[in-house]
Structure 1
């Protein structure tokens, strides 16, 4: 959304300049940082609406920056990585990143994802309307406070894990494909990487299921997608 503030954290000056130029052309207010320590200072001082965060940075890695920011900020984070190993992508999503892109990437796709992430973050909350507490057996999801509890204990969820859980809980028993979840939870109206959904499902199961290998709540419907039961 034009006028939103975006923090770009990238130590490659050419890529930093290119990203800044294209995002400013879209009408965004752009703030930049070239290392991990500066990224933390800029994020806390500028309070951006979105952070585009490179993994390989001086002083602190993008992973460390993301982990520290997630202690007290819910700002959407898109990670950039030059590596193609699945483990890097999984680590980024596990510590709280909302999405990732692998270099080299299409500027058109980055701009599309940026619009989708900002649009989603501006919404009051995932469907259904906020203000309710959804209860599924021992699981309670407080949409107004953006908080979930299991058997009375507060769950430590990343913002996107909460969004996914709340959406599925609000549509309990309905099956959604990965593509539908990318659209409904991530806000993408284009073909995104469905592995993002799978990783978030995997880590969400680690937090809500008694036995993540035999899920009772978040169930896979083979050949189709996922649904929440209970």
Structure 2
């Protein structure tokens, strides 16, 4: 049974979301503020976090930042803000998806399922190989980890999905639209700056190997093995 941690200081919204997840067979933990959320995260095995930004005690951005220092657990951020820069900040901190309030609980549930299913699919033991290595960059499917020349680098769920997709299509130009559809689904309504932000984060983590993700102007990206 997968466990969802819902962090929201609005009791009614939290309860509604909780009911939807419970009805789908998930276990649910609840927190009404940032500090309580971190405490629950330390005490329990959590498979996905639904995290509001505007929280008492400790805001959602701070919670996300602290969790990302130790875990790649999928995080969906909730916000009443409509500023695109706020959305990008969330992604820069390691959020995997973003839902704007007021939202439809079925949509939130669908987003959560997509993240959980993509995580399970990538890590299935039925993969012909347990990973993929190109010029010192290795993605390991079972552990969902990435190493560069043998050294492990921290990476979020969404960053892992994007890097894996690019590496699996080495030498092929992948458009931003293709990445959005593959990672977030057809229902995603954000713009392609979201993709740019994640690519920038991945390049930073790859260090000297960053150039292997080439930008194709006005189109997208291509993973190219260095000679």
Shared fold per TM-score greater than 0.5: yes
CA RMSD of aligned residues (A): 2.7
1:120 Cα deviation after fit: 1.1
CA distance in 2, matches of 1:147, 1:4: 20
Is 1:191 aligned with 2:187? yes
1:223 Cα deviation after fit: 4.3
Distance 1:18 1:209, change over 3 A: same
Cross-structure match for 2:165: 167
1:32 Cα deviation after fit: 0.7
Q: How many residues align?
A: 221
1:130 Cα deviation after fit: 4.9
Cross-structure match for 2:74: 76
1:147 Cα deviation after fit: 4.1
Q: Deviations over 1:3-32 (max 9, x none)?
A: 422110000112112211222222322211
Q: Kindly indicate which of the two structures has a greater share of residues assigned to helix.
A: 2
- Whether the 8 Å CA contact 1:50–1:75 is kept in 2: the answer is yes
Cross-structure match for 1:45: 43
Paired residue secondary structure (2:215): strand
CA distance in 2, matches of 1:74, 1:210: 23
Cross-structure match for 1:85: 83
CA distance in 2, matches of 1:133, 1:11: 42
Structure 2 unmatched ranges of 5 or more:
none
Is 1:143 aligned with 2:140? yes
1:77 Cα deviation after fit: 0.6
1:74 Cα deviation after fit: 2.0
Distance 1:49 1:151, change over 3 A: closer
| Pairing of 1:216-227 with structure 2 (within 5 A) | 216-227=211-222
| Pairing of 1:111-126 with structure 2 (within 5 A) | 111-125=109-123
1:154 Cα deviation after fit: 4.6
- Whether the 8 Å CA contact 2:3–2:47 is kept in 1: the answer is yes
Cross-structure match for 1:203: 201
Query: When the two structures are superposed, what TM-score results if normalisation uses the length of structure 2?
Result: 0.83
